[in-house]
Amino acid sequence: MSAKRLLGRLRGRVDSVSLIAVVVVIALGTVLPLFGCAKRIHGYLPALEISHGGFARDEQAVREAIGHVVKVLGFVDHGNLYGNADVRAILGDWWSGEAPSATTWRFNLKSRATDRAGESFAVLAPNDAGRDRLLRVFLADAVAGRQTCVLLRGRLFAFEAPMNLGSRVGLRLEVASSEDISVAEDAGRR
């Protein structure tokens, strides 16, 4: 995929009207179970289009998108859930360790439901009022063996990831609030 095409897909992914976001989330409760997280839905770019195994699919295109706000959908990597002691108390055995800072929590996002734990990239979110509800949904799905499809709006970052024979471009998405993380099938969980 060319850099121009990826940037074109990433441009304009910022929701400027809250009402539209609410309608989209409600609609996704019925649409996403039919199509999953692998298809573009309501302007959300599937993680599969930017990531493969947790690394940039098209390194040049991702580099050009660094710092831009994007809308992405993908699957929670239940094997990579991080946070403080409060997060550990909620997740129990599913807790993977401390988050990068005391003010954030982290989970990883997989491109495909069939990706293994670790074939994912980091999503950082602030410790705010919505965190615990999301963690409980992630935990319930992990325990039940269900995939958790999420829709995210956040700023995309990249970094050099050294490998044995060179390096790849790693990805990180930073959301401004837990409100920027929607569980695709929330309507069916209530």
14-56 pLDDT tens trace: 444 333 443 344 444 434 433 456 667 778 988 888 877 777 7
The structure tokens 């304009």 sit at 12
The β-bridge partners of 123 are 107, 173
The model carries a pTM of 0.75
Name 158's Cβ contacts closer than 8 Å, sequence gap at least 6.
Answer: 56, 62, 63, 66, 169, 170, 171, 172
Which pLDDT value is given to residue 186?
53
Indicate if the pLDDT at residue 153 is higher than 60.
yes
Count of beta carbons in the 10 Å neighbourhood of residue 149: 23
Residue in 147, 13, 125 with CA at minimum distance from that of residue 69:
13
Distance (Å, whole) CA 148 – CA 40: 17
Q: Rounded to 10 degrees, what is the CA torsion of 74, 155, 49, 170?
A: -100
The superfamily in CATH containing domain 3-189 is Nucleic acid-binding proteins (2.40.50.140)
Higher pLDDT, 121 or 136: 136
Asked whether 150 and 183 are in contact (CB, 8 A), the reply is yes
